C-alpha cells in the first residue's frame, strides 16, 4: 500500500470526505459503538464490508465502500485499518496544535520606527519616564557596564537605549505597547533588550545586591552604630542597622500554590530579607524564599549570622534591630516581650520598645523607596512566576534605588545625618572583582 502523506488538517479532511463516512467492518455488522465484528452483515452505518451485500466493489448510496474478494486479502485489510488509525491520530495532533497556535498568536502592534535618540530627550522627560536625569543616565550607563552586554538575537542597541528601556519598564506598570510607541521598536525587540539587561545586572552585581562587601568591615558597622546612637542615645552604640522581611506578590501560579501563598498577606508571592542602614541604603537584599516562610526562619537560613561573626571577630558585638518576629540572638536584637503582653513590661522596657520602634521604621521607608520609584514591582497582578523573572526584577529595582540614594540621598540619610557612599564606592568601580560571588 502506498504511503499516505497529510501535511495539514485540511488535507486530512479532504481524504476523509473522499472515503465516505469512515466506519470499518470486515465481513461484519457495525453496531453503534463503532466496534469491528466478524462474520455478520453490514448495516447502513457506513462501514466497509467484505463478502456482504454490495460485493461489486462500488460505493453504496449511504457513502460506504464495499470491496470484493478478488484482489484483496487479510494483509491488505490490516494495512487499510492501520492507515486510517494513523490518520485519526494525526488529525487529533494537528487540531490540538492549531488550537494552541491560535491562542498564542498575537497580532503585531503597529508602530512607527522613529529611531529613538538619547540626545533628543530632555531632563524633564528623563526624570518623569526613567527616574534619572540625562547626566545621571550617562553616568549609570558607564558604571553599570551596559556597553559590555552581549545581547541575544544579534541585537545591537546603544547602551543608553538598553538602560532607558529597563528603567522605563521598571518605573511604572506599563504595557509593552506603551513602551514601543515611545522608543519606536517592536515589542519583541524591547522585551529582549530588557531581559538581557536585567540578567547582566544580576550577574555582575550579585554580591553588591545580596550582601555588600562594606558590611564585612567592622569599622563601617561601628560608624553606623554611632550615627544611630547620636539620634537615639538609648541604643548605647550597639545597634548598627534595621532588619525586616518584605513580601513581593504576584498572580496565582499554576504550580506550588500552597508554598507561595502567604496567609498573612492573603496573596501569593515570595519573600526577601532586607537590611537598612542609616545612610539610606539597602546594602543587603537576600532571597527569594517562598511566601509562606516567616522572617525568623529566613534569618537563620540567610547566612548573615556567620558573616557578622567573621566581621566582629573578638571585638564588641554590634546588633541589628528587628520587629517582634525575630528573637534575641548573636548579631540581632528584638523588642522586649512578655507572655502576658506589653502591659506586663516595666516602664523602661516599654519606653525602649517605643523609641526603637520609631527608629525601626527606617527599614520600611527603605522598602517604600524602592516601591515608590520602581512601581512595576508593586503591581502584583501583572507579575507571573514562571513566565517572568520576578525576583530579578525586584533585586534590580533595589540596585537602582541604592544608586539613586548615592546620587541624591534620601530622608533616612537626612534623619541620621550620615551621607551615603558615592556611586563609585557603592558599585566598587575601583575593585570590580568584589562585585560578584
Bridge partner list, 30: none
- CA 239 to chain centroid, in Å, comes to 35
Query: Residue 133 sits in which domain range?
Result: 118-204
Whether 60 and 200 share a structural domain: no
What pLDDT shows up at residue 94? 87
Whether 179 and 251 share a structural domain: no
Whether 253 and 353 share a structural domain: yes
d(CA 72, CA 48): 13
**In a domain? residue 111:** no
Whether 62 and 170 share a structural domain: no
What pLDDT shows up at residue 32? 44
Distance (Å) of CA 367 to CA 69, 105, 205, 248, 398: 84, 38, 19, 11, 8
Whether 186 and 300 share a structural domain: no
**In a domain? residue 148:** yes
Whether 319 and 384 share a structural domain: yes
**In a domain? residue 113:** no
Q: Are 133 and 127 in contact (CB under 8 A)?
A: yes
**How many structural domains is the chain composed of?**
3
204, 219, 254 - which closes a domain = 204
Whether 356 and 291 share a structural domain: yes
Whether 199 and 217 share a structural domain: no
**In a domain? residue 3:** no
204, 230, 258 - which closes a domain = 204
Angle in degrees, 0-180, between the axes of helices 390-408 and 134-143, rounded to the nearest 10: 120
**In a domain? residue 2:** no
Would you give the end-to-end CA distance of the chain in angstroms? 65
Is 381 buried (19+), middle (13-18) or exposed (0-12) by CB count in 10 A? Answer: exposed
- Print pLDDT tens along the chain (437 aa): 444 444 444 554 454 444 444 443 444 443 444 443 444 443 444 443 444 444 444 444 444 444 444 444 555 677 788 888 888 888 888 888 777 666 666 677 777 787 889 999 999 999 999 999 999 999 999 999 999 999 999 999 999 999 999 999 999 998 888 898 889 999 999 999 999 999 999 999 999 999 999 999 999 999 999 999 999 998 999 999 999 999 999 999 988 899 999 998 899 999 999 999 999 999 999 999 999 999 999 999 999 999 999 999 999 999 999 999 999 999 999 999 988 888 899 999 999 999 999 899 999 999 999 999 999 999 998 999 988 999 999 999 999 999 999 999 999 999 999 999 999 999 999 988 888 87
User: Which residue has cell 561601628?
Assistant: 222
162, 177, 204 - which closes a domain = 204
d(CA 437, CA 428): 13
Considering the entire predicted model, what is its pTM?
0.76
Whether 321 and 194 share a structural domain: no
Whether 374 and 301 share a structural domain: yes
DSSP H or E run through 45: none
**In a domain? residue 318:** yes
Task: Determine how many CB atoms are found less than 10 A away from the CB of residue 383.
Answer: 22
Q: Are 163 and 372 in contact (CB under 8 A)?
A: no
Q: Are 349 and 334 in contact (CB under 8 A)?
A: no
242 phi and psi angles, rounded to 5 deg: -130, 135
- b (16+ CB within 10 A) / e for 121-146: beeeebeebbbbbbebbebbbebbbb
**In a domain? residue 1:** no
Closest CA to 84 of 19, 31, 40: 19
Is 378 buried (19+), middle (13-18) or exposed (0-12) by CB count in 10 A? Answer: middle
Whether 288 and 172 share a structural domain: no
Bridge partner list, 270: 248, 290
Task: Determine how many CB atoms are found less than 10 A away from the CB of residue 277.
Answer: 30
Collapsed DSSP state (helix, strand, coil) of residue 42: coil
Distance (Å) of CA 409 to CA 151, 172, 331, 373: 33, 22, 27, 14
CA angle centred on 133, ends 132 and 137, rounded to 5°: 70
8 phi and psi angles, rounded to 5 deg: -155, 175
**In a domain? residue 280:** yes
d(CA 166, CA 124): 18
Whether 223 and 191 share a structural domain: no
Amino acid at each position: 500500500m502506498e504511503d499516505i502523506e497529510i501535511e495539514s488538517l485540511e488535507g486530512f479532511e479532504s481524504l476523509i470526505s473522499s472515503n465516505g463516512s469512515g466506519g470499518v467492518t470486515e465481513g461484519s455488522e457495525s453496531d453503534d459503538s463503532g466496534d469491528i465484528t466478524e462474520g455478520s452483515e453490514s448495516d447502513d452505518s457506513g462501514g466497509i464490508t467484505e463478502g456482504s451485500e454490495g460485493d461489486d466493489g462500488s460505493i453504496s448510496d449511504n457513502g460506504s465502500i464495499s470491496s470484493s474478494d478478488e484482489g484483496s486479502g487479510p494483509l491488505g485489510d490490516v494495512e487499510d485499518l492501520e492507515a486510517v488509525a494513523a490518520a485519526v491520530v494525526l488529525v487529533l495532533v494537528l487540531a490540538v496544535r492549531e488550537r494552541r497556535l491560535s491562542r498564542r498568536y498575537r497580532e503585531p502592534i503597529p508602530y512607527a520606527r522613529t529611531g529613538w535618540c538619547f540626545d533628543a530627550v530632555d531632563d524633564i522627560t528623563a526624570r518623569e519616564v526613567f527616574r534619572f536625569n540625562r547626566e545621571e543616565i550617562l553616568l549609570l550607563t558607564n558604571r553599570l557596564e551596559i556597553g559590555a552586554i552581549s545581547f541575544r538575537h544579534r541585537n545591537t542597541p546603544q547602551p543608553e537605549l538598553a538602560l532607558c528601556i529597563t528603567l522605563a519598564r521598571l518605573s511604572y506598570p506599563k504595557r509593552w505597547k506603551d513602551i514601543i510607541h515611545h522608543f519606536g521598536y517592536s515589542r519583541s525587540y524591547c522585551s529582549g533588550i530588557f531581559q538581557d539587561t536585567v540578567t547582566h545586572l544580576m550577574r555582575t552585581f550579585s554580591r553588591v545586591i545580596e550582601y555588600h562587601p562594606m558590611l564585612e568591615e567592622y569599622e563601617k558597622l561601628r560608624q553606623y552604630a554611632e550615627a544611630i546612637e547620636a539620634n537615639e542615645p538609648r541604643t548605647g552604640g550597639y545597634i548598627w542597622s534595621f532588619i525586616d522581611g518584605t513580601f513581593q506578590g504576584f498572580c496565582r501560579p499554576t504550580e506550588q500554590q500552597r508554598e507561595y501563598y502567604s496567609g498573612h498577606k492573603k496573596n501569593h508571592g515570595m519573600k526577601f530579607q532586607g537590611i537598612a542602614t542609616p545612610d539610606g541604603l539597602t546594602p543587603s537584599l537576600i532571597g527569594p524564599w517562598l511566601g509562606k516562610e516567616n522572617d525568623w526562619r529566613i534569618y537563620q537560613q540567610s547566612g548573615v549570622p556567620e558573616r557578622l561573626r567573621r566581621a566582629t571577630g573578638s571585638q564588641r558585638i554590634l546588633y541589628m534591630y528587628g520587629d517582634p518576629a525575630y528573637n534575641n540572638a548573636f548579631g540581632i536584637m528584638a523588642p522586649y516581650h512578655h507572655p502576658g503582653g506589653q502591659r506586663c513590661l516595666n516602664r523602661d522596657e516599654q519606653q525602649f520598645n517605643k523609641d526603637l520602634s520609631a527608629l525601626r521604621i527606617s527599614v520600611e521607608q527603605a522598602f517604600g523607596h524602592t516601591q515608590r520609584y520602581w512601581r512595576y514591582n508593586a503591581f502584583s497582578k501583572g507579575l507571573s512566576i514562571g513566565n517572568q523573572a520576578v525576583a530579578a526584577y525586584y533585586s534590580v529595582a533595589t540596585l537602582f534605588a541604592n544608586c539613586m540614594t548615592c546620587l541624591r540621598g534620601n530622608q533616612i540619610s537626612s534623619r541620621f545625618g550620615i551621607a551615603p557612599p558615592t556611586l563609585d564606592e557603592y558599585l566598587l568601580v575601583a575593585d570590580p572583582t568584589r562585585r560578584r560571588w
